Structure 1
């Protein structure tokens, strides 16, 4: 008989690529993970992993078992959800990982709404970018991730996750007030090809949006200044240090002193925000109200622009 917790460990090793990284994500020791993998190989009668200088890879048998693992773990999540519904679960803790702007504009209003409609649900929030929050969901460190599309993100049809679209928002150009293009109502990105740029660090999903938008405009941005804090980005632009692309919601409430904020001419670069949970958990009686509250908060803030329908 195969133990489900060992399947969870197998998936973590496949996701993270090394025993050490999987152990850290699961709050286990590397030796414990290795022991569980060895036990799983004994249970199945097959060699499941190959260890190399660069980490761990699955054997053909391991890949077969991993494909079934996604289905088994999703079924167990669904079983937990149905049992919780049977028990009429109305109280409990739901953990949500979200990026800073998402916390302020979507997660916080959702918490306020839940306090009035579902006071038994306690939401605990962790600040994390999308490229970190999705692995946190898969590793069961949090229940819900509010994330954005980014290069390398799990596909919309990923068998491990169920996704709920929240909103799509454009990026606006932020220029020094004295920039020649600041007099324009809309700024063509190609006109900024020779400027110094201010942008997020590589790894931040917004970094990919900025770089790809500039590539589509025919140039590679000269990223001279780096910050993941959009307040700092706007301040640097206002000081004449360079130009930037900033999500429109991140500009709300900021003082753009010395900077000009203009829409991008043509098709604006866009970030698409979604909530994600482990597949099978989307119907959990504690998680479902949180997803609904996040969706409603996004509609209230962004006027219902949820972008293309993307679901798990």
Structure 2
């Protein structure tokens, strides 16, 4: 047992020993346990039981057929941000729920309440339980948003292009650390890595030094640097005006390995037609593309079901 979770194993993979009848599950040495949600009637070899706040969950793996997908799906570039969780190159946006920000005031109030209670008292235990439930709610809202976003992208697009964001470096900015953590950027990339395999699509990670926010997606002019507070991209060459994140997403979509990016001009008049697709060799900008290939028709799905309150 580790923390608030433990691992159970019964039988073998060929002859699994943990069974269920859809509403209950029979665990070794524990017996039949009722489930809060219905369960697929199947046998499995092992599972992990964990506790979050005052609820118990069970997670296990079983085999399903790989979902059918269309080969005519489009390619999309995705820009991850704080204002909007994701902006697609086709103009669609996915709202950022900002769960922590919306509930931070209530969380601070509950934290003060815990600190004022006497250690070991029942009132302190109740206060800790309420705070844990709120933390779990924030976590669930964030995970739900990221799961919906990554599933939509992997299922409906043949290739997804995202930036190779250095999240650890962003978190060193104390003014933006809280907002960046609330987005779940690392979890977004992690989920896309395995979901693209499940849906026979490909994940391409764009070079982190590619200036997607500085290039005009219309005329490909490479303008001067843009501070984060500037949310609208204005091209001094062609007069193109559009949302900063949408412009970046469109540039991410047209990125390819070995693309030539000339040095930016402080006067913002340099011609950078090659940034829109002329393939020139430049070793300093050659970044390996992460390819996801699928060779099997069977994948593993992990379910986490609520077993109900512990009390």
TM-score by shorter chain over 0.5:
no
Which structure shows the higher helix fraction?
Answer: 1
Larger Rg: 2
